[in-house]
Structure 1
Amino acid sequence: MFNDAVDLWDFYGTRVGQVARRMIRRRVRELWPSTKGETVLGLGYATPFLRPFRDEAERVIAIMPSQQGVLHWPREGKGLVCLSDEAELPLQDVSVDRVLLVHALECTEQLRPMLQEIWRVLAGNGRLLVVVPNRRGIWARLDRTPFGHGHPYSPSQLSRLLKDNMFAPSLTAHALYMPPSNSPLLLRSASAVEKLGERWFNRFSGVVLIEATKQIYARPKGRAVKIRQLLPMPRRRATALNTAGGHGRMAENLQRRKQK
């Protein structure tokens, strides 16, 4: 079940939310240092992490799932957000170069249809970046933040899910090592905690990020179906069999008459 867009807005307005946004956005920017001339799509509630791409990419748009609700973004100028079913994106095939998926994968009830839609709209050389709560992290265990809702993933689980839906994972990263606390001391030391976590506590990050590319030549998993092929019978052989069958029936009739 999706978090409401208003609740997400409120969270990222708090001090904890601002720190979380800064830590995750820094990691996203490291994975995507340049999007010049590309079309970037944010799906889910990705608007807190899209601003760095606005002055660089050719086009930046956001789609919020219908169950989540929608809020105007950016504050200044025309809106760049639309509301849509995550399994029916209002975009043409191969029309997007990059997709940033945040607060969506762990909440959707249409997991595979959504990934299929992302595969459809993504260009052949496009990239998908998924941000999900880490199953082993403390953020996924506390429901007072959006990362404590939905289905968390370990890196291996997320990688397997992407492979099963025709994506090829290429990079794995982690972010958000600071505990979800309002302590002023922890908030001030968030950057130091982040560096420490990157070096020693990768497994216990708050979120997992995996970048994947579109696998064009792929076959969905499943058993191969054997098709039984029926060949036409040669005409002469069919005639001979029919004739033999006819003689057989005549002999049976004669035998019955004799018995009577």
Structure 2
Amino acid sequence: MDVIDLRDFYGRPLGRVAQHHIARRVEQIWPDVRGLNVLGLGFATPYLAPFVGKAERTIGLMPARQGVMQWPANGKCLTGLVDERELPLPDESMDRVLLVHGLEASESKRGLLRQIWRVLAPGGRLLIVVPNRRGLWARREATPFGHGQPFSRSQITQLLRESMFSPSDWEVALFVPPFDWRPLLRSASAWERAGHMLWPRFSGVIMVEATKQIYAATPLPASRKMKSRVRAIAPLPTPAPAPARAVLPEDGD
């Protein structure tokens, strides 16, 4: 979905309900951002408003495939259009990164996560919101969560570890069925409470907070290791002895 589709979704009653319940969980995970630099990636602007004025700096970057829109509507624009594989930010410049409507639609998931790893400061936190493979929202194409690749908890864990992140906290949200039926939406809070207690595995989205592994190293491929070993232990040929030079008699001998 492009930026216009995403904007229109969050302008509908169902989108406002989704925004409300996901934003509550985001604020519970990050209750205090004073003095921190906060980056929103993907289409994270519906969830960045609570951080403006509290964080030291709040910006939103949107991938080129998706498009970009001005945010906030009034005042200085805090958004930009970027290549997700080359974020235009200095190393270790962000303390919090919120990734929404980004990972599931990315064509280079590991490349995106490595860029986030680069710009995230030591001790910084990454919070990812992705569609739950088991939930109803991933099966409903009328919402943004029904597009791209949904994830299970084990899948997102493996992807994070391969990208040098360690999952540290988990949350779930969106248990109300994804339909624009007003009587259903009015009871969304009751659905959320019941879902957390009775069927947490079937939430609409999975939210995972992760920290960067500072001392992780990319292992050398096995083929390169073997070649290096062969070069290290291969004996060098012994130089052949120089041929004996003939001694010519001098004049008078």
The answer as to whether partners of 2:38 and 2:95 remain within 8 angstroms in 1 is: yes
Q: Any idea what the Cα deviations from partners look like across 1:142-165, whole Å, max 9, x if unmatched?
A: 101110000000111101100000
More deviation in 221-230 or 129-138?
221-230
Aligned residue type for 2:205: V
> 2:199 aligns to what?
201
TM-score (norm 2): 0.90
Shift of 1:234: 5.6
The SS at the match of 1:43 is strand
Matched, 1:19 2:26: no
> 2:251 aligns to what?
none
Aligned residue type for 1:112: R
The SS at the match of 1:25 is helix
Matched, 1:133 2:122: no
> 1:82 aligns to what?
80
The answer as to whether partners of 1:44 and 1:104 remain within 8 angstroms in 2 is: yes
Aligned residue type for 1:24: I
> 1:102 aligns to what?
100
> 2:3 aligns to what?
5
Aligned residue type for 1:214: K
Larger-gyration structure (1/2):
1
Aligned length: 238
Unaligned runs of 5+ in 1: 244-260
Aligned residue type for 2:70: H
Unaligned runs of 5+ in 2: 244-253
> 2:115 aligns to what?
117
The SS at the match of 1:113 is helix
Percent identical residues? 54
Shift of 1:200: 1.1
The SS at the match of 2:129 is strand
The answer as to whether partners of 2:97 and 2:125 remain within 8 angstroms in 1 is: yes
Matched, 1:174 2:172: yes
TM-score (norm 1): 0.88
Output aligned runs, 1:1-260, within 5 Å.
Answer: 3-220=1-218, 223-224=221-222, 225-226=225-226, 227=228, 228=230, 229=232, 230-233=234-237, 238-239=240-241
Aligned residue type for 2:45: T
> Within 2, Cα distance between the matches of 1:108 and 1:221?
25
> Within 2, Cα distance between the matches of 1:75 and 1:159?
36
Instruction: Please tell me the root mean square deviation across aligned C-alpha atoms, in Å.
Output: 1.6
> Within 2, Cα distance between the matches of 1:151 and 1:28?
22
Aligned residue type for 2:118: R
The SS at the match of 1:64 is strand
Q: Any idea what the Cα deviations from partners look like across 1:214-255, whole Å, max 9, x if unmatched?
A: 1111133564412121444566xx53xx88xxxxxxxxxxxx
Shift of 1:113: 1.1
